Every structure is written in structure tokens, then in C-alpha cells.
Amino acid sequence: MFNVPSAVLATVGVLLLVHVLRLVALTESEDLQLLLTFAFIPARYETNLLVGGSFPGGFGADIWTFFTYAFLHADFLHIGVNLAWLLPFGTAIARRFGSLRYVLFMLVVSAAGALAHLVTHPGAMTPMIGASAAISGAMAAALRFVFQPGGPLGLWRGERDVDGDAWRVPAASLAATLRDPRFLVFLIAWMGLNALFGLGSVSIGEEGQEIAWQAHIGGFVAGLLLFNAFDPVAPRAKVDAKRRG
């Protein structure tokens, strides 16, 4: 699983590069301006603020911040924890989806996380940053197939992967996934770790750091529901139907 695909390595490189450049190339005021332009801020979408143009970036930022917030992190601990989750789960979906679908999927679930945050924090001035919502979506997508017979988890038990077949096993249906005890145990553990270690958004100002758990849930739910739209492999139900036929 840690034979990391180039698309995931590129993601890691971009996230680290953005963070290092913020540290070494920007003053504090310039970094604040960057956050106001590229972080996700629910108050940007208030009608009175849109008319007044209170945030930089204009209409373009109204769109791109649904995605660009995921490239920004508070510190090396924040980005390090996110990368620790990205490597296994990003690898799983990149190997299954291919590079282009992987990139599109990560962008879509990032936007889903931002939308969930917007709906639950209308008018909030606190910027949200971090790739956790996207990674939550990747995690949910991976759980649709990693538990299947012959899937990636079998590689940990010493099984052979013939021509990458472990990454192309038919996925379980959404209903079957939600009934799988292994999925439920993993979900409970993830929610506990999410609350304990504060994976998520970071705010600017006196409030300090906050957990954008609604964004995580938005990304996770989107990953579960949109998996079939990106998956190039026929689902298990269709495979079983063909075998019966």
C-alpha cells in the first residue's frame, strides 16, 4: 500500500511546497491576505458582503475557495497528520481510479466538505483550511473495496498481487458497506481519532484552532455516495449477476 503512486506523491509535494513557501516567502500580513483569498470563509457568501466586496478575489474566489482551502495548513503538525492519512487511502483510490480520476475525485470531495461547512456555519468569519475533508472522502471510497476478498488488505497477509488485481476487485454495494461490521468499527475509530487529535480546519484569531467536523462528514459522505461515479471497475452486484446469467 505504501508503494505510493505518482499522483499521490505529487499531492504530497504540492501540499508541502505551498506550506513551505508560506513560511519562507510571505510576511505575516501577506500570509493573512493569502488566507483571505484562498481559504474557505462562509461569510464570503453572505449577500451583503458579496455586494460590498469585503473579501479579496471577487467572484472567482467564491468558486475556487471550495477547492483551494484544502492546499493550506496551519503548521507542520497539521499537514503531517493529514499526510499520514493521505498516503494509505490516497494510494488505494489512486491505484484503483488512475491519476485523472483520483485528482477529480479529491477536488469533488473537497468541495463537498466545504459545502457541508458552509451549510452548518452560515456567515462565519473563521477561515477553514486543510485537506482533511478530501482525505475523509478518499477514506470512505477506499472502504467500499478494501475489505473485499482478494482486495488490498490481503496484501498485508502476504497474498500476491497479480498485475494489480487487488486494486480492481469488485466493490461492495453501498448498502452492503453500511452493514459491514468492519466498516462500522473503522468508522467509529475514525470519528474518535478525529475528535481526539483535531484533524480539520484552523481558525485565525483569538478562538485558536477548531475542528471542522462537519466538513469531514461532508467529505466522507460524498466519498461513499460518489464512489460508483468514479470507479472504473464493475460493481460486485453486476459481476455476480453476470456469473449467474
pLDDT in tens, 78-134: 899 899 999 999 999 999 999 999 999 999 999 999 999 999 999 888 899 999 999
pLDDT in tens, 181-231: 999 999 998 887 766 655 444 444 344 566 778 899 999 999 999 999 999
Q: Are 140 and 171 in contact (CB under 8 A)?
A: no
Q: Using alpha carbons, select from 74, 95, 70 the residue that is nearest to residue 11.
A: 70
Q: What pLDDT score was predicted for residue 48? A: 47
| Structural domains of the chain ordered from first start | 6-244 (1.20.1540.10)
Q: Using alpha carbons, select from 175, 114, 166, 171 the residue that is nearest to residue 141.
A: 171
Count how many Cα atoms sit within 13 Å of the Cα of residue 133 in the half-sphere of its side chain: 35
pLDDT in tens, 19-50: 999 999 999 999 999 999 999 999 988 754 44
Q: What pLDDT score was predicted for residue 118? A: 94
**Please, what's the b/e burial string for 66-102 (b: 16 or more CB within 10 A of its CB; e: otherwise)?**
bbbbbbbbbeeebbebbbebbbbbbbbbbbbbeeebb
Q: What pLDDT score was predicted for residue 168? A: 87
Q: What pLDDT score was predicted for residue 196? A: 67
